[in-house]
Amino acid sequence: MKVAFKDNSFAFEFVRNLGFMYYGGSDLGEMIATAGQIEEGDFESWFTGWDKLAHRILSRADASLSAGHLESAREAYLRASTYFRTAEFYLHGNPADPRILSESRASQKAYADAAKLAGSTWEPAQIPYEGTTLPGYFYKVDDSGKPRPTLIFIGGFDSSLEELFFFAGAAAVRRGYNCLTFDGPGQGAPIREQKLLLRYDYEAVVTPAVDYALRRPDVDSDNLALMGMSLGGYFAARAVAFEHRLRAAIFFDGVYDFGESIRSMVPKEAIVAVDAGDAVHCEEIIQKRMLDDTNLRWAMTQGIWTFGASSISDFLTRIKQLSMTGIAKQIQCPCLVLEAEGDMFFSGQPQKIYDALQAPKKLFKFTSEDGAENHCQSGALSFFHEVAFNWLDETLGLHHDRNG
């Protein structure tokens, strides 16, 4: 599905953020108007357009707050947070760019301001992790303190904490689940503020989150589930192979071998070169292709940044570790594997992880018939949530409404 842009990467990111409209994280008119001012494939033009919109919405949020229009302020802060995050998305080719921090902090602050206005059911959280903490939010069904089934939701290769509410938190709470979201190493604030790099052994990240959840009296310890989005589909699979306190897992979408997917994006001769130890030739081939391929340009610069790689060839070597080969058989809990018919990143990966699973499993494929063919069903969140949470209800034996 392409909306507003012809460029594959720009079109996908546009729909990704437009989809948040369903839960109040964006709006159609202002996004379409902004897209019309952005030059195809131009990262600086992308930044300028979304940054301008973000500041305009933020000023309206501040004005509403000052005038006592609290709901108007909350809604505008949520949208401003989305647009600051969108503006920053393509800046990572230069990790020293000061706008990475300024836009990220602006997005975080706008979201935090919205969270305060949302009330006590949006609770900031800090997950202990290797001598520091990871920032998160714990979204509660209510303030009753009643133990609730709880979903831990993790992002992927490029996610930030603030968008995770729209991808899962909002839908979870509506259906009677608490939802814990957080930024892990290589994501959001941890990579930008703490320089914590992405890692392949994600059980080391998820287990502290499980510990945190199980310490809370409002979490039903018998009904704790995990969902991972995009590369988080690999993170979730890796985690439940080692962390067996989780009763169910959803791979949104399924990823068996991240390295295989990324390496399939680059010219074959570049892979031959890097595997033969000719890093110089590999770099030359890929750099040339990046001039005309926005998605490849973004993926390589994002990967170097989040993995702390020294070069493209170093990144392509490091990602070989992100594979479920020989590990998937250790998963014990029931798993839902989601697949997108038109996935531009992980085509074929959901079937591979599904085939490798020995635990109870289900594979569901989203298609263009429902406009749900995009990677991670961007633009079709309601259908995705219907499928994912219906399966989770049935797997956990829960059939409750939002007030249950």
Give catalytic residue positions: 230
Give the containing element (helix H, strand E) for 182. Answer: strand 178-182
Q: Which residues pair with 336 in a beta bridge?
A: 250, 362
* Residues with Cβ within 8 Å of residue 291, at least 6 apart in sequence: 297
**Measuring CA to CA, which residue among 85, 254, 72, 71 is closest to residue 166?**
85
147: how many CB neighbours lie within 10 A of its CB? 15
Burial (0-12, 13-18, 19+ Cβ within 10 Å), 261: buried
User: Encoding tokens for residue 146?
Assistant: 């009643």
Please state, in angstroms and as integers, the Cα–Cα distance from residue 179 to each residue in 27, 41, 74, 171, 305, following that order.
24, 36, 20, 9, 29
Report which DSSP code applies to 222: E
User: Would you give the end-to-end CA distance of the chain in angstroms?
Assistant: 37
CB 89 within 8 A of CB 83: no
Q: Distance between alpha carbon 308 and the CA centroid of its chain, in Å? A: 19
Report which DSSP code applies to 121: T
Report which DSSP code applies to 150: E
Q: How far apart are CA 389 and CA 404, in angstroms?
A: 15
* Residues with Cβ within 8 Å of residue 124, at least 6 apart in sequence: 112, 115, 135, 136, 137, 138
362 in helix, strand or coil? strand
What's the one-letter identity of residue 112?
Answer: A
Backbone φ and ψ for 243, nearest 5 degrees, come out as -105, 105
User: Encoding tokens for residue 374?
Assistant: 């995009």
Q: How far apart are CA 222 and CA 241, in angstroms?
A: 18
Q: Using alpha carbons only, give the angle 18, 249, 340 rounded to the nearest 5 degrees.
A: 40
